[in-house]
Amino acid sequence: MKLSVAIPESALSDESLKIDKTRKISVLARACAIFKIDTIYVYQEGNNRTDGSLMVMILKYLETPQFLRRRLFPKMNDLKFAGVLQPLKIPSHITPVNAKKINPGDVREGIVISVKGKRFVDVGINQLIPFFGKTPIGKRVTVQFKEGYPKLSVKEIDKNEVQAYWGYSVKERANLFSVFAEWKGNIIITSRKGKTATKEQISKYVKSDQPILVVFGSPEKGVHEILGGKMKNVQNAKSLNFFPNQATETVRLEEALLGTLAIINASN
């Protein structure tokens, strides 16, 4: 099951301080990593573009293995409170630094660098490895070891070739309709106005070969309000209520994300 989510940049509007916004993004990232989310779409909704850029930056930062962050992320205001972020600890992050422990077939994330006109990849083992792939200098790359220690040769591979969960990608879009326009698969819209989600309904989506996009609204507006009555124009979409009979006035995004994905996962 290939699962992606769409969340609005206005999801941070109920937090006033940047440190609290940072903490909330960390919770969202953890939820997405727990349930192996493939792509996080951050769509514009409202007028606060600053929150959108903050969310995208921190989500990307958290998905990046720790040893690569200093090279890929310069000091910036958006990462001022990076110290409060909880690590994801996904397979691409849990990698040995001892070169002697590397075996043929192991997969690592690295960054392509140039030394004296030759290209190498730094995979966090204090030893540079010759690189002959297509990824340009300064960019992140996924490599698989053809030979282990001591020869240590690698080949460039696509992230989709990795059997373990290798992290999410982050895409920013101008609005929710832009997300729908490019999405190829089934869509689940989370809403109080939807039909109560049942195990039978969710199982149909989970057992399908089509990828699933789960769409969430903002603290001020549900997805139906964001779509402005154009719900019928969305193809292959079903509106479901994952929190029937809720006692609280609203369900916060971090709660909705964790709860909804847990319910979908349990139906797998």
pTM comes to 0.94
173 with 247, same domain: the answer is yes
64 with 189, same domain: the answer is yes
- pLDDT for position 267: 83
Termini Cα distance of the chain: 8
- pLDDT for position 82: 96
CATH number at residue 103: 2.40.50.140
**Residue range(s) defining the domain that contains residue 134:** 99-161
Spatial separation of the C-alpha atoms in residues 8 and 22, rounded to whole Å: 15
151 with 226, same domain: the answer is no
260 with 171, same domain: the answer is yes
Residues whose CB falls within 8 Å of the CB of residue 226, separated by 6 or more in sequence, listed in order: 8, 45, 176, 217, 218
- pLDDT for position 206: 86
Please give the average pLDDT of every successive group of 10 residues along the chain, which has 268 residues: 94 92 97 98 84 95 95 93 96 88 94 95 92 95 94 94 95 94 94 90 89 92 85 82 89 93 91
174 with 259, same domain: the answer is yes
Question: Scanning the structure block, which residue is given the tokens 């903050």?
Answer: 54
18 with 55, same domain: the answer is yes
Number of compact structural domains in the chain? 2
42 with 83, same domain: the answer is yes
38 with 53, same domain: the answer is yes
155 with 172, same domain: the answer is no
14 with 141, same domain: the answer is no
Please tell me the chain's helix, strand, coil percentages from 3-state DSSP, rounded to the nearest 5.
35, 25, 40
69 with 184, same domain: the answer is yes
176 with 72, same domain: the answer is yes
Spatial separation of the C-alpha atoms in residues 113 and 109, rounded to whole Å: 13
- pLDDT for position 53: 93
Amino acid present at 194? G
Strand order, beta sheet including 3-8: 169-173, 39-43, 3-8, 212-215, 186-196, 237-241
**94 found inside a domain:** no
Longest CA pairwise span in the chain (Å): 65
- The DSSP output letter for 136 is P
Q: Residue 154 half-sphere exposure, CB side, CA atoms within 13 Å? A: 27
From 161, 183, 211, the end of a domain falls on 161
Helix (H) or strand (E) holding 255: helix 253-266
